[in-house]
Structure 1
């Protein structure tokens, strides 16, 4: 789930552990403690203008600088003009993702046709070669082949999240991680964190929960869409959900960093539940209680809507809601509007890849 900080604060809460990420640009405020030794207040003496002038001359003679009041930290200004670049980035990245997925699917089909006889020949040679026992590489290949296509597809996503999680533990990289792997509409860097924060988790429980849900629904979503279309939708969902979070944070003034793959995972969950509303689901710790996918989706959307309206700050409800709505829209309308109209682009790529006949 995408975790976020309290409004106006320059820290990011991450995960159930309540870890705090200091923002590199945050001012360190000065806290003035006023202590009273007894129950009576001492009336301040009135200083005459003449005495003030004498004190000023004394300070100049001694060369002592007058006391300076501590600076007050400035809160970031919210402006919808700053969302123009994220909007352009969201539209452009989504279009490029689906375009690249269409070309990737074309190349995959072409490669499968060309390598058919090579695979037959390789299988024939494997039968002639003596079998090796206890080979680690062979065991890894057997494990990999036992996975479904969806599980093999999300393995790379899980590995990327684990790598970013390890980078959070390196003190030297803290500033870079906060700048590029947390999404914040008040930050100087707005566009690339919309994508990179989708692979970023500071809490181990946060990452484990998100990756478990992604692994559980991977087979269903990839069987439904194919790995190319799934990856395009997943990456686009991360950017779109972050942009929705930007808009809500700017509108409410609750600026602060967020991170996590929850927006993209909510898209996957919403797509599967919309396509198969009668499928039975169960909670991890309570497998005896089952409910339909349609009811689960309605409950999640209702909770995130309530959290957004009431201002709950533990989760980034705007990102959750944006991801869920994008998943529902894509299954109902987006697949027809985007993926089924990829043929002109594929033809252009085919003409580019095919050498002219002499």
Structure 2
């Protein structure tokens, strides 16, 4: 069965699984989180950010002990497997472009919203007499004001620190791009989804997924899932498929 998967998709699945095994071996067998930190993608203005993380994060999943554990990589790889025939339709080169550009789009959209959040928190802190940027520049910043004001400042500082120190594991964003591309090219194809007892048209599944992701991302869901990264990946997949669909038969 595995040999029947088109080569690009097969290699992407293999890389994802190998990276997952190695990173979790370092994390649990050696007690070393460093590899997860190196390969996951941080906020672009974080001191932990490295440029290569935008690419390596596309092969990263939640660690074994992080709630979703194995289910995260299982569902992602299962989705890739089910839509692998899209590689034969688009061709290997375009499929590879789809995967990587969707992953980049996921990173950009997710961190654009994170940037907005950081700026909102920074302005609130500034109104309370605290400059977060000088704080990060090692300038002495003292919390001033009433106890209530100081408590608010501490809470806002913690929110900003959480944003810049929490890595993004971005495989889902790239895979959402694949889903969006399929739904754009074949919108009326009916799909059977795990735990759903009836078929759903691809376009309806995509719309539902985007609406839920937007809602949870805007609400600030604390599940650890980067919902807006899904939206970014899907947006890129949709745009690429709209462009390519006009010339689909010429590709083949």
Q: TM-score, length-normalised on structure 2?
A: 0.69
Residue 243 of structure 1: CA displacement?
1.8
**What corresponds to 1:174 in structure 2?**
33
Q: Are 1:237 and 1:264, in contact at CA under 8 Å, matched by a contact in 2?
A: yes
Q: Does the CA contact (< 8 Å) of 1:167 and 1:173 recur in 2?
A: no
Quick one: which of 77, 83, 87 aligns to 1:211?
Answer: 77
Gaps of 5+ in 2: 64-68, 119-158
Alignment partners' CA distance in 1, 2:21 and 2:179: 26
CA contact (8 A) 2:16 2:60 kept: yes
Structure 2 CA distance, aligned partners of 1:162 and 1:259? 14
Q: For the residues of structure 2 that align with 1:178 and 1:209, how far apart are their CA atoms? A: 23
**1:31-75 deviation per Cα after TM superposition (whole angstroms, max 9, x unaligned):** xxxxxxxxxxxxxxxxxxxxxxxxxxxxxxxxxxxxxxxxxxxxx
Match in the other structure for 2:231 = 321
Bigger Rg over Cα: 1
Cα distance in 1 for residues equivalent to 2:71 and 2:203: 26
Partner of residue 83, structure 1: none
Alignment counterpart, residue 16 of structure 2, candidates 142, 145, 161: 161
Q: After the TM superposition, list the runs of 4 or more consecutive aligned residues in structure 1 that deviate by more than 6 angstroms.
A: 334-337
Q: Match for residue 122 of structure 2?
A: none
| Match in the other structure for 1:309 | 218
Q: CA deviation at 1:173?
A: 5.0
1:143 Cα offset (Å): 6.8
1:274 to 171, 176, 184: 184
- Uncovered stretches (5+) of structure 1, i.e. residues with no partner: 1-141, 341-358
- 2:200 is paired with a residue whose SS is strand
Give distance in 1, aligned partners of 2:36 and 2:13. Answer: 18
**Matched residue of 2:50: which SS?**
coil
Residue 331 of structure 1, aligned match among 229, 238, 241: 241
* CA deviation map 1:167-226 (0-9, x unaligned): 22213652132133343332432321111011012232211110000110011x113211
Query: 1:262 and 2:172 equivalent?
Result: yes
Query: Which residue is 1:289 aligned to?
Result: 198
- TM-score normalized by structure 1? 0.49
State how many pairs are aligned. Answer: 191
SS of 1:232's partner is helix
Match of 2:54 among 182, 194, 217: 194
Superposition RMSD on alpha carbons, in Å? 2.3
Q: Cα–Cα, structure 1 residues 187 and 217, in superposed 2: closer, same or farther, change >3 Å?
A: farther
Matches within 5 A, 1:212-251: 212-219=78-85, 221-251=86-116
1:336 to partner: Cα distance = 6.9
Distance 1:327-1:194 versus aligned 2 partners, 3 A rule? same
Cα distance in 1 between the residues matched to 2:2 and 2:232: 36
